[in-house]
Each structure stands twice: as C-alpha cells, then as structure tokens.
Structure 1
Amino acid sequence: MTTATPARRKSGLVLFLAVTFVASWLSWLIAIAVGGPAMSFPTVIPYLLGAFGPMIGAIVIRLRRASRRQPTPAHAVRLPLIGLLWTPVLLAVAAGTVVGAALLAQQLGGPPVSLTAAQTLIEVSGGPLAFAGVMLVVGPLSEEFGWRGTMHPRLRAKMGRLLAGLLLGVIWSVWHLPLFFVAGTVQNAFGLLTFSGLTYMLSVIPMALLAAYGYERAGVLGAIAIHFGANATMSLVGVSGLLPQALIVGVQTVVALFLLAVHRDRKKVSATPEPAQQELVPAHR
C-alpha cells in the first residue's frame, strides 16, 4: 500500500484551483446568462461574487489545513512590520510602471495622458474614497489572499520564484476569460480575439511577477499594494490603446524581472517542516 508524501498532503493546489475556478466561472456564467452591463442590477451580484473566487479557494484551503493540523507552507510570508513601510514604495512602483509606459506611448504618437479623464472617473465613481474603495475590493482584496497568499507559497515549495510567478500568471490570465463575455467590463470592451484582448491576457503575467515580488517583500499586503497601484492607475490614466497596453507589458516585465533578480530569500528553507505560522487570510470574510 502506498501513501502520499508529506509535500503532496500539504499542498492542496489542485483543490484551491478547482474551488477558485468553479466559484468564479460559475458566477460569471450566471452574469452572462442574466445579461446587461456588469454593474447593473441584478448582473452585478454574480459579477462581483465571481471576483471572490480566489478568496473562497483560500478559505477552503485554510479550513482544510486547520482540520488536518498541517503547518503553514514554508514559503508563506507573514506580515512583517517592515511591510507597512514597503507598502507606499510598492504602490509607487506599480503606478510608476503604468504612468511611465503611458508617457512613453504619448511620445511615440499614442494617446495623450490627461488628468481630465481621471477627474471625470473619480466624480462618476462618487468621489476619491468611493473610487479607491471599489478599486481595492474588486481585484486586490478579493484575489490576493488566494493567488499570492495561498497559491504562490505552495508553488514556491516546488520551484523558483520566477517560474512560480510565470506559472501563476498564466493561470491568472486564463481565469479572466469569462469576463470577455460580460457586458460592461474592460475585457468585453477589448474583445477576446483582438490585439488589445490578447495584449490584456499577456499583461496579466508581468503583473503576477510584480505581485510576487510584492508578496515576498511584504506579504499579502505587498501584493495588494502592487495590484491596487497598477489597476487604479490604469483606470485613471485611461489606458485603452494598443500601444500603451503593449508598453505597459514591456515596462512591467523589465521592472519585475529586475526586482526579482536582486531580491534575496529571507532565509534558506530547510528540508524539515517548520513550526506553524499565521497564514494571512482575513478572520472576517
């Protein structure tokens, strides 16, 4: 009779992905069937629920680990106090890659960068706090406890940070596919089988690498800072043309590869299991 190895018992990657994709894709398929713009009632309910698929997957994995009294994965990053200091830096890095690429695109004949569109978007959203709240919840908070807080450390137990980031980026990109068929989403506006749509799918990969760097620097808070900074800035700058999209992919790829190359592991992982740590999943869902 054979038994599963400890690493295999602890991972839960397949379960996490199954729960995440089923929760998200089923919700978005319901949104597609209901019809109407994503933020209109009642479509908004399954649309927003789908965004929390990775969070639901993270909760399932944490409950499973707790019931089996398994330790936190060795590469899980707790929230260090220095993470609070890194947050504004990571926000600036993420926003800077978008603004820098948009300004470069403008110099190369692309659409001009204007603050007018940003002001209009904030007003339509109900003010700066409402805009920031929506951008924080839909994406960074709903996803990062799953992608980075749960999946990334389990991948890191099997491979290097670059390969882990690339693999997670591909999976994260595929996860977005149903959104191309939900009216009113950015993905739907691009269209799946277009250069803009394909560039969007590609852009998720360097974002995953940047978020991986943020996670290894400051835990889930760092990944949230990267995700929020990039998403909010792209919305404010109004990135829609193919040229700025492509340049953002290029700039973020270069920056992410550089940061990951110069960042060292906090400690070498030993072959023996480590004491259980606090895994970063919110206490209140």
Structure 2
Amino acid sequence: MSTAAQNPAPEHPVPPSSAAPQRPAPRIVPPVVLDRVPWKRVGLFVLLTYVIFALFAAPFWFLPGGIANPFFTLVIAVGMWAPALASIIMAKGVERTNWRTRVGLRFRGRWRGILAWSVIGVVAIAAVILLSSVVMVLRGVPGDLTGGTWLTVGTQQISDLTGTDIPPIAFVLIMAINLVFGLVVTAVAALGEEIGWRGWLWPALRPLGRVRGALVMGVIWALWHTPVMAIGYNYPGVARFIAIPFFILPCIAMSLLFCGLADRAGGSPIPSAWAHSAVNSLGSTLIGIVSTTATGAALNPLIDTQAGVVGVVLLLIAAAVLVPWRARRPIVHGLPSAPVPSGASDSAPLASEPAPSAPGSGRIEG
C-alpha cells in the first residue's frame, strides 16, 4: 500500500493563513521593590483621589442638611471608591502594569492569611473601641461598665418599637446581627479606600520606611476627608479648624496598623478594609454598651473615641503588637507569578529588582 493511501489528504485543508494564531505565553513578573518614592506618580495619584472625592462631596456643601441629608451616606459611600478609581488610572494609564497585581488583589495561595488577618484586624479595632470606652468611664464620663443600663434601656426600646415584650437575650441577638450586617456593608465602601491607600500608595511610600511612610500617608489620608469634615463630619460639636488638623493623628496611627495588616497578608488590602470597616461601623454600638443616658453630653470626641487621644494611643499599641517590624523581605507588588496582559508595556516599570548583593536590600526599615 502506498504512503499516500495510508495518509490521505484532508478533504477540506485549512489554508495556512487562516490557522488560529498562537497566543504568546504570559510574561512572569519578577518580584520587584521600589528603591525610591516615585513622587510625581504619588502626587498625581493624590490629586486624582482628592478631585474625585471632592466631586462627590460638593453637592452637600449646598444641599439642605449637609451631612444630615438623607442621600449623604449613600453618595459618600460611593465616593469612598475614589482611591480605587485613582489606582486603576495610575496602573493602567501611567504605570502600564496589571492593576490587580499592582494593588495586591491576587489571592492564589493567600486566602488563609487574608482571612486570618482580616479577623485579627476587626478584633483589634473592637478591642481599641471597647478599651477607649472603659477609659472614658474611668476618667469620669458617666457610664456603666457592667453594661446593665445598655441592656435594660435597649430591651425596653425594642419592646416599645415592636409592641411586644422581648427578653434581654433577644435584644443582644438583634444587636449582634445588626453589628455584623453593618460591618459587612461598610466593608464594601472601605475596600474602595483601602485598594488605593494600602494597595497602591503604601508600596509607593515604602522606601521612606514604615514609620515615615505611615506619617506621610496619614497626612494625605486625613486631608482627603476635608470636603466632608468641613461641613461637620467627624468630631461633632468641635470647631472645624481644630477637628480637621486633629484628624491627622488617628489617621497616622491607623495607617501604621492598616499597612501592617496588609503586609501580614502578603500585600493584600482586604484585611485593612475589614479593620477600616470596624472603625466606621462598630464605634457607636460598642461605646453604647458602657453608656448611660448622660454619656453623650459628657463625652469629648477629641479624647474618648477611637479617633480621640485615647484611641490614638491604643491604635499605636495595637500596631506595635501586630506590625511585622522585623520582616526581612519587603512585600512585592502582587504575586511574582501573576501574568501581565500581552499588551502591557514595559516602558514604565514600577521598580527595578534590587541586586542580590546590595547591602540591606530586602529589609523593611522601621
């Protein structure tokens, strides 16, 4: 039998020109660290976040009620994604790199660490709020450290609202469910901030060292809130010329803690988003546990809350315990194996890989 008979030609041969093109193998991104702060990019990122957020806040400078307007919470929750949007613009339009990799949203092999440090972050913030509340009562603000007043008054309020007498345990369960629901909903908005601050900005500021980087980030983050703080957000009853600069202190302390949580989770901003959510959503409820009807009038927001002096001290203590001060390797920008789209340009790399023999390369300066 002839060779042609053994291997007959196909009835409909595919023209060479119509053959499916072969995709090039994805390029592997090596571990990289910044050896200096890209200040121009940082400045552009900050400008974008400020402008975008100010656009969301601007209507409430003129609408009736200001921060009490019924649309304020919803609109500002969307506006909290301004840092994430700025990070997309920077990664895609300026740095020409993969956005998810750049901001630490690669999860393969990191889920356990992300989950563990998210829980630890929430617990740490809850502890800070509860301890600041205890200090508040110990320093003379009216309160009830047994929680009895909160339980009695709260149970009666729910009973009046429902028209049915409920047991105290039912009130506790209702509050627990409400607490978890508020934490989850607030985390969605907080993630928008954390993708920008801890995901994009923190790696850019790392060459400054951990403490100086947190100082710079704290100032940037605090002043970003100015469009809403100028109309009464945070520190109710406190003059704005005091409240706005004072807010820098808790933002520095939270930056130190939140950046540490991100580093612990391999560069992921998710644990810091949960901790951020805890700061925003747990405060009033946890302070309420040790409060009486006279607490609100006597409480000083510059001292007694998680954003007051006591809270700042406790946040710094939490950071001292949880931050990886002795880490020997800096967190890279995403997983080393994360593929970059074939169209991505290498013309504007985030950083160069440090020489292995460089003294001190790979250390995190505290």
TM tier relative to shorter chain: 0.7 to 0.9
- For this pair of structures, how many residues does the alignment match? 265
Deviation at 1:64, TM superposition (A): 2.1
Deviation at 1:254, TM superposition (A): 2.6
Which ranges in structure 1 are unaligned for 5 or more consecutive residues?
280-285
Deviation at 1:169, TM superposition (A): 0.8
Deviation at 1:200, TM superposition (A): 3.4
Which ranges in structure 2 are unaligned for 5 or more consecutive residues?
1-33, 159-170, 289-298, 341-366
Kindly tell me: are residues 84 and 24 of structure 1, through their superposed partners in 2, closer, same or farther at Cα, counting changes over 3 Å?
same
Counterpart residue type for residue 192 of structure 1: R
Structure 2 partner of 1:88: 119
TM-score normalised by the chain length of structure 1 = 0.75
Q: Match for 2:210 among 153, 161, 164?
A: 161
- Matching of residue 173 in structure 1 with residue 222 in structure 2: yes
- Matching of residue 267 in structure 1 with residue 332 in structure 2: no
Structure 1 partner of 2:261: 214
Deviation at 1:197, TM superposition (A): 5.5
CA RMSD between the two structures: 3.9
Structure 2 partner of 1:283: none
Contact preservation (8 Å) 2:199, 2:269: yes
Contact preservation (8 Å) 2:84, 2:195: yes
Q: Which has the higher contact order (CA 8 A, sep 6+)?
A: 2
Structure 2 partner of 1:54: 83
Structure 1 partner of 2:241: 193
- Matching of residue 109 in structure 1 with residue 172 in structure 2: no
Deviation at 1:160, TM superposition (A): 1.2
- Matching of residue 17 in structure 1 with residue 46 in structure 2: yes
- Matching of residue 136 in structure 1 with residue 187 in structure 2: yes
Counterpart residue type for residue 225 of structure 2: H
Separation of aligned partners in 1, 2:328 and 2:35: 23
Kindly tell me: are residues 33 and 47 of structure 1, through their superposed partners in 2, closer, same or farther at Cα, counting changes over 3 Å?
farther
Q: Match for 2:285 among 236, 241, 263?
A: 236
Deviation at 1:13, TM superposition (A): 1.8
Q: Percent identity, aligned pairs only?
A: 21
Q: Match for 2:276 among 206, 214, 227?
A: 227
Counterpart residue type for residue 102 of structure 1: S
Deviation at 1:141, TM superposition (A): 1.8
Deviation at 1:203, TM superposition (A): 1.5
Moved more, 45-54 or 19-28: 45-54
Structure 2 partner of 1:282: none
Separation of aligned partners in 1, 2:248 and 2:142: 21
1:145 is paired with a residue whose SS is helix
Structure 1 partner of 2:319: 256
Deviation at 1:65, TM superposition (A): 5.6
Kindly tell me: are residues 207 and 68 of structure 1, through their superposed partners in 2, closer, same or farther at Cα, counting changes over 3 Å?
closer
Kindly tell me: are residues 154 and 111 of structure 1, through their superposed partners in 2, closer, same or farther at Cα, counting changes over 3 Å?
farther
2:240 is paired with a residue whose SS is coil
Separation of aligned partners in 1, 2:330 and 2:285: 41
Kindly tell me: are residues 40 and 210 of structure 1, through their superposed partners in 2, closer, same or farther at Cα, counting changes over 3 Å?
same
Separation of aligned partners in 2, 1:207 and 1:59: 24
Deviation at 1:128, TM superposition (A): 4.3
Contact preservation (8 Å) 2:250, 2:312: yes
Kindly tell me: are residues 141 and 190 of structure 1, through their superposed partners in 2, closer, same or farther at Cα, counting changes over 3 Å?
farther
